[in-house]
């Protein structure tokens, strides 16, 4: 159900709001990538969303492939989720006491992810990854961690080193304010490179508490694991007594029911979840075997807490989202759409002789002006940023809202129809023509 777009792309309201925002909020935004630093121009301020579309304060409509960076797998304002949140809000927003919904969503998640026997809810993916690390260090009695270049696991101190997402977009190695002593405990190697992982274990030996990995990397574009990569990590961790943490904040319930661990049949020790499990509200979680999770307070000594953890509104939104996703055929449909779009883009670029690659896994996809395939951050960095920028701007002007950085994945929702994909590919024709002129 397409809604009319009002005339040419007006921007006056968005620009006026940005001027006000910059006075009171650093860079005018509450998360860096929203500022459009990598693509230029003023970001539209969004007034509302419905299904696959969003509408800005100037009355422009867009087909949205950001989906709030992953949570909105059902599209914007899905009626069942809106009803669930309204019902929960009527009963009271928060109690700081146990509520029935928390038990239900914990049971639903454990049913979907066999490696998660117990879990703890938190409010953001950052908190989930930070807490999982603390638990891994406590459980192994070791201090160091291994991550991958371009992997993003939130903004906890130890994890900012060589991070993807907004950190990669800004091109900074880490962040001022993070003492070297902290990052010295973080080792990192290229994604998809098992021999580098083995090398890190030779160097850091019995000091490594865990390997934390995005099982499909989504914060340096969309980079699927090479066949055998995740299995290899499992084996190396077992051999060295380190824990394997799958950061499925993005991939959980996004690439398959039960996430990447079900899709690739590799069982991690700890799992981080977020985004989709909150249905668009702030919720995330970390979990694993009963034996590990029993070490978390108050069952055990590893401290971790949160005033709004397991918030009733967020839990209601997450639970209803999971209910919708458990229906048969949902992920097949989602993947068919992402694959059609990724392949369609590639075909149109190829027809113009443009170096271009794309990938799609479940409801996430990515593309790059690079001959491909992308295997790691170094590949992602070699992509043509000028062409990306030109393509992005042309698509935005045509009403297609893509992630404003080459280091981010794009997201398909169940609200996107075949006609929406066709509309997107039509817009891509002239966007590629414009990008091709950038040398």
Ligand X SMILES: *Cc1c(COP(=O)(O)O)cnc(C)c1O
User: Other CB atoms closer than 10 Å to residue 396's CB: what's the count?
Assistant: 22
Q: How many residues bind ligand X (CB under 6 A)?
A: 15
Counted residue by residue, the chain has a size of: 439
Residue 214 near residue 247, CB atoms below 8 Å: yes
Residue 275-304 contact track with ligand X, rule CB under 6 A, x = bound: ---------x--------------------
Smaller CB separation from ligand X, 250 or 314:
250
Give min distance, CB of 166 to ligand X, in A: 10
- Spatial distance between the Cα atoms of 325 and 256, rounded to a whole number of angstroms: 9
The answer to whether 149 contacts ligand X (rule: CB under 6 A) is no
Our answer to whether residue 65 is catalytic in this structure is no
DSSP SS3 for 138: helix
- Spatial distance between the Cα atoms of 12 and 331, rounded to a whole number of angstroms: 40
| Residue selected from 125, 232, 258, 403 as contacting ligand X according to rule CB under 6 A | 125
Our answer to whether residue 152 is catalytic in this structure is yes
Give min distance, CB of 154 to ligand X, in A: 4
The answer to whether 363 contacts ligand X (rule: CB under 6 A) is no
Token pair 């080459």 in the structure block, residue = 406
Given the residues 144, 147, 275, 389, the one annotated as active site: 275
Could you tell me which stretch among 76-84, 104-112, 152-160, 383-391 binds ligand X (CB under 6 A)?
A: 152-160
Token pair 């068919």 in the structure block, residue = 336
- Spatial distance between the Cα atoms of 88 and 81, rounded to a whole number of angstroms: 11
Could you tell me which stretch among 234-242, 243-251, 392-400, 424-432 binds ligand X (CB under 6 A)?
A: 243-251
The answer to whether 377 contacts ligand X (rule: CB under 6 A) is no
Residue 39 near residue 393, CB atoms below 8 Å: yes
Given the residues 56, 58, 193, 247, the one annotated as active site: 247
The answer to whether 152 contacts ligand X (rule: CB under 6 A) is yes
- Spatial distance between the Cα atoms of 21 and 88, rounded to a whole number of angstroms: 31
Q: What is the DSSP code string of 109-160?
A: HHHH-TT-SEEEEESSHHHHHHHHHHHHHHHHT--EEEEETT----S-GGG-
Residue 191-230 contact track with ligand X, rule CB under 6 A, x = bound: -----------------------x---xx-----------
Residue 413 near residue 363, CB atoms below 8 Å: yes
User: Other CB atoms closer than 10 Å to residue 3's CB: what's the count?
Assistant: 10
Smaller CB separation from ligand X, 247 or 379:
247
Please report, as ranges, the residues that interact with ligand X according to CB under 6 A.
124-126, 129, 152-154, 214, 218-219, 247, 249-250, 274, 284
Active site residues: 152, 247, 275
């Amino acid at each position: 159900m397409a809604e009319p777009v009002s005339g040419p792309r007006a921007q006056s309201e968005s620009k006026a709001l940005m001027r006000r925002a910059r006075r009171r909020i650093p860079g005018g935004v509450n998360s860096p990538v929203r500022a459009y630093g990598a693509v230029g121009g003023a970001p539209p301020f969004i007034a509302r969303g419905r299904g696959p579309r969003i509408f800005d304060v100037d009355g422009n409509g867009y087909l949205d492939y950001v989906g709030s960076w992953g949570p909105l797998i059902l599209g914007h304002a899905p009626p069942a989720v809106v009803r669930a949140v309204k019902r929960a809000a009527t009963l009271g927003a928060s109690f700081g006491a146990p509520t029935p919904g928390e038990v239900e969503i914990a049971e639903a998640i454990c049913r979907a992810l066999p490696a998660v026997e117990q879990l703890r809810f938190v409010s953001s993916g950052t908190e989930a990854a930070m807490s999982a690390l603390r638990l891994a260090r406590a459980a192994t009695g070791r201090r160091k961690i291994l991550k991958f270049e371009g992997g993003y696991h939130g903004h906890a101190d130890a994890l900012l080193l060589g991070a993807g997402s907004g950190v990669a977009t800004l091109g900074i190695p880490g962040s001022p304010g993070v003492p070297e002593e902290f990052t010295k405990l973080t080792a990192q190697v290229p994604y998809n490179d098992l021999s580098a992982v083995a090398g890190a274990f030779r160097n850091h030996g019995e000091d490594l508490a865990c390997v934390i990995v995005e099982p499909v990397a989504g914060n340096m574009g969309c980079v699927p694991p090479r066949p055998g990569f995740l299995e290899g990590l499992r084996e190396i961790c077992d051999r060295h007594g380190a824990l394997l943490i799958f950061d499925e904040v993005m991939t959980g319930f996004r690439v398959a029911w039960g996430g990447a661990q079900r899709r690739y049949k590799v069982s991690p020790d700890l799992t981080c979840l977020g985004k989709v499990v909150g249905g668009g509200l702030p919720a995330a979680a970390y979990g694993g075997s009963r034996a590990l999770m029993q070490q978390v307070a108050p069952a055990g000594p590893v401290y971790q807490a949160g005033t709004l953890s397991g918030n009733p509104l967020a839990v209601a939104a997450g639970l209803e989202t999971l209910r919708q996703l458990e229906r048969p055929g949902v992920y097949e449909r989602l993947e068919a759409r992402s694959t059609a779009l990724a392949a369609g883009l590639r075909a149109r670029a190829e027809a113009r002789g443009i170096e271009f690659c794309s990938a799609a896994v479940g409801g996430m996809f990515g593309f790059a002006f690079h001959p491909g395939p992308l295997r790691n951050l170094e590949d992602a960095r070699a992509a043509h940023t000028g062409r990306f920028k030109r393509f992005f701007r042309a698509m935005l002007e045509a009403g297609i809202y893509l992630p404003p950085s080459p280091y981010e994945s794009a997201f398909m929702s169940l609200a996107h129809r075949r006609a929406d994909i066709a509309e997107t590919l039509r817009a891509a024709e002239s966007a590629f023509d414009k990008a091709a002129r950038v040398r």
